[in-house]
A = this chain, B = another copy of it.
Amino acid sequence: MVIIIEKDTKEKVIESIIKKLDQEGFDIHRSTGIDHTILGVIGNTNKLDIRDIKLMEGVGEAYRITAPYKLVSREFKSQNTTFKVRDVEIGGDETVIMAGPCSIESKEQIMTIAESVAKAGAKILRGGAFKPRSSPYSFQGLGEKGLEYMREAADKYNLAMITEVMDKDQIELVESYTDIIQVGARNMQNFSFIRALGKSSKPVFLKRGIAATIEEWLMSAEYILSGGNKNVIFCERGIRTFETYTRNTMDISAIPIIQKLSHLPIFADPSHGTGLRNKVIPMARAAVAAGANGLMIEVHNDPDKALSDGAQSLYLEQFADLMKQIRIIADVIGRKVA
């Protein structure tokens, strides 16, 4: 931590700051300038609340010089994390596409969609069995029945499977079906839940909270890694801004930023990022062009009759056309799409 002493602070006050920090076990390096004295505080400053320091007499400003996260950082591990989910490599040269419906609605529906997206080049089947809905009166998902249908569909078409877990209590059940556990945006800072995921053997797909800073997002991943689960995938899905034309504002720049700060892969979800079908396609292309490690896309065989989020689901043919476009775009930056 670096502490900037206020101009004209008495020497006695500076010494008392140094003494206090020294007593707490920190090493202090002092630089005395003409206008400003600077203190470098060396030691595990994560245990200090920076606001406490700022409120001390004589302190003008204080900054952390080490990021509050460690295990997720590229400083800690410089090589990209890659891992296999069934036979799909995540984090490598391939831009991996996850596709499927918002909610699993019936066996027929998930089978039809799985067949079609597999044929177009998707490697992982997505779909919700337990749905977080902002209204208590909306469709809440098929539950375990949905997981069964989805596993069957994934197996039949040689796809890996990802589905959302809403709650600590559901982890065990869902783990017995899925290959990847999805954490929704609203749960990104549900700390007892993500702590529990640190003990899971399945990779975690961690959506960005709609108001989460990149640092907070990294900290949530840190919770999971610190519990022992090293396989986390970030997913940008749009942040909340003043603009209301789209449901959220997709922060495409988070893709290169996460790739700089962390060794973990980052995907993009243009379906939730925009909330509108005709915006999903350009935003999917944009995410690939920006270098995303993969995409998650909602696709439905009959979006007009979908029980949830039909408005942001692509038709099967739209998805197949999109795959053709992103194959070329990925190639421009030395990446592959199946």
Interface residues, chain A, with chain B CB atoms under 8 Å away: 2, 4, 6-7, 27, 29-36, 38, 40, 42, 46-47, 49, 51-52, 54-55, 60-61, 63, 65-66, 68, 75, 132-138, 166-169, 186-187, 189-193, 195, 209-211, 213-216, 219-220, 222-223, 226-227, 239-246, 249-257, 260, 273-279, 282-283, 285-291, 304, 308-312, 325, 328-329, 331-333
Contact = CB atoms under 8 A, between A and B. Distances in A.
Contact of A52 (B49, B246, B310): B310
Contact of A253 (B47, B135, B246, B254): B246
Nearest to A251: B249
Nearest to A312: B51
Query: Among A255, A282, A287, A291, which residue has the most Cβ atoms of chain B within 10 A?
Result: A282
Per DSSP, chain A at the interface is mixed
A10 B139 CA distance: 34
Given A38-B29, A214-B243, A168 B166 contact: no
A260 B242 contact: no
Query: Among A239, A244, A256, which residue has the most Cβ atoms of chain B within 10 A?
Result: A256
Contacts of A333: 285, 325
Contacts of A308: 49
A227 B328 CA distance: 44
Contacts of A241: 239, 241-242, 249, 251
A79 B40 CA distance: 32
A33 B38 contact: no
B244 A213 contact: yes
Contacts of A29: 31-33, 38
Given A29-B38, A169-B168, A329-B329, A219 B283 contact: no
A93 B186 CA distance: 35
A17 to B, nearest CB: 12
A278 B57 CA distance: 13
A192 B169 CA distance: 10
Contacts of A210: 211
Contact of A256 (B7, B219, B282): B282
Given A134-B189, A260-B278, A311-B54, A253 B49 contact: no
Contact of A191 (B55, B133, B213, B240): B133
Contacts of A32: 29
Contact of A167 (B34, B166, B192, B260): B192
Nearest to A195: B136
